[in-house]
Amino acid sequence: MRPNDRKYSTSHEWAKKDGDTIVVGITDFAIEELSSGNTSDLVYCDLPDLGRILEVGETFGEIESVKAVADLNAPIGGEVVEVNSSLEEHLEKMAEDPWGAGWLVRIKPSGSEYDELMDAEAYEKHIAAPH
């Protein structure tokens, strides 16, 4: 089961409240799909600039593995107030600790979309369903 202290999007990003900001990352499921369990398959991550204003569902970056490229989509709208720039040199953090050190961006939310995201149980059902 994924952590219950955050919410999840259908595009496999997670969002966790931290004070007046929301920390965003991608789930272990998304990382597994990209890397087939081989963390060295992750080769590139493009993250947004500080101050960028994101709309819900907007692509804000991408992650690339040797087998695929995936868009990173904003689970909430708001302003990017911090970027985990250490990922550019250490993509393995995303696979080793997707719920902690592997976070992507911190967003100051502009609305209440957080409450509309899935909880861990709903996300588990989402990824178990045939697509």
Query: Which residue type occupies 86?
Result: S
What's the total number of domains in the chain? 1
pLDDT for residue 131: 65
Residue 39 has pLDDT above 80, yes or no: no
The answer as to whether 32 is a domain residue is yes
According to DSSP, the residues that pair with 45 across neighbouring strands are: 63
Residue 36 has pLDDT above 90, yes or no: no
* Cα 126 from chain centroid (whole Å): 16
* Cα 95 from chain centroid (whole Å): 12
Q: Identify the CATH number of the domain in which residue 14 sits.
A: 2.40.50.100
Domain that holds residue 46: 8-128
131 vs 123: which has the higher pLDDT: 123
CA 14 to CA 124: how far, in whole Å?
13
The answer as to whether 83 is a domain residue is yes
Residue 106 has pLDDT above 80, yes or no: yes
Name every residue whose Cβ is closer than 8 Å to that of residue 108 and which is 6 or more positions away in sequence. 20, 21, 22, 78, 79, 81
The answer as to whether 65 is a domain residue is yes
Region 32-42: mean pLDDT is 85
pTM of the prediction? 0.95
pLDDT for residue 67: 86
Q: pLDDT digits over 43-98, tens only?
A: 999 999 999 999 999 999 999 999 889 999 999 999 999 999 999 889 989 989 99
The answer as to whether 3 is a domain residue is no
Mean pLDDT of the chain: 94
